[in-house]
Structure 1
Amino acid sequence: MLLSESYAKKQWTSHERKAAQARAFTENREYILPLRLDDTKIDGILDTTGYIDYRKVHLEKVIDLIVKKIYQYNRDNGITYEIVKVEDVFQKQAIGVNRGRPITDKDMTTECPACGTMQLLSEASLSLDEDDTIYTCKNGCQPIVVVSRPGLVAWPGRGYRLGEHAIRNTRNIYVKTENMRVPMIINASKAALMKLRPSS
């Protein structure tokens, strides 16, 4: 619930709040995530009700909390996420389509920062961390590339936004097909593996 002066003035928000509170009571679990935008008093919301204050919490943290709540709901209800490869992101954005065949993970090379092994993305092992796709060094050292969940903000130094996903890579990714004279480079993200945005 986005608690604000506008929220308090609308009839449908009151109906929405009552329905959500009834469901939370019936299911006897945390269900509502109030986000306070200003200090307007909202009927039915006690001063002791926990909430997030948008004025005091960084937007990235708000997004992360919402995503975690949705993830938990999906997990509780059997909704699963799928691995999204870098090649999938490229194809959705039509990157390289005018160069012949689609670009695949077999056309992308990067280095593991831990062991220094150069490898194709297709050689790395793939897994899911909640709803992020993780490419791990083929030697098992560490993650080398992360394809973010849809909608994640790519802050400076953490990755590159391509459509609904962000790609976060610990070392440069060199993209080259047989039809390309020079490789395309996705520069390394210095904060590629950071979970939380550093405070400024």
Structure 2
Amino acid sequence: MILTSCSSSSSSSDDESDDDEYIVTLLGAYEQNNTSMLQILKSSDSSKKIGGSVVGHRYIHRDRRQGHDRLFADYFAANPVYSPTIFRRRFRMRCPLYLRILNAIQAHNSYFVQKQDAAYVLGLSPLQKMTSVMRILSYGIAADAVDDYIRIGESTAIQSWQQICNSVIEIFGEEYLKSPMPTDITTLLASGEVRGFPGMLGNLDRMHWE
């Protein structure tokens, strides 16, 4: 499923209203898409022959649907468990921006389109793949640390990380991954000075500042 884009507004209050309407519309379509996919899978012929397991690999059953449903209810539902403030702290961005990036990546890279596996079971959702990557990037945790919550294997989390990084570079690289213009430098220096860091153009991490 491809999420639709959201239009911008002139005021912050209008932005918040538009964002709320945008999220409700997108996520309603997202849930409807998942329901349709499950109905298709239930009506498919389960007697079809499928391939066997990889020799030497230990199979771990993961309830992928449970992982998606929990993630969706916690952060992306119309009335999520966690507030927008917590979302921004944990994802390092606001929810509408997160969904816009996911929308662009889905349109660009088919890896993030939800599919069936060899057993005709619905695979990981785009939200699960991208959220696992955001947790790894935001917190610097190991790839297998997101498995117990998102229900995604270590190798898949690493592959998702590689796919997202490549997609972001290909989609947004020309606009955002370039040397700053003189006006950008002026803005960044002024912002740093206001925050008590005169002469600072950018920073990698604030954890060493006392």
Q: TM tier, shorter chain?
A: under 0.3
TM-score, length-scaled by structure 2: 0.25
TM-score, length-scaled by structure 1: 0.26
Between the two structures, name the one with larger relative contact order (CA 8 Å, sep ≥ 6).
2
Which structure has more strand as a fraction of its residues? 1
The structure with the larger Rg is 1
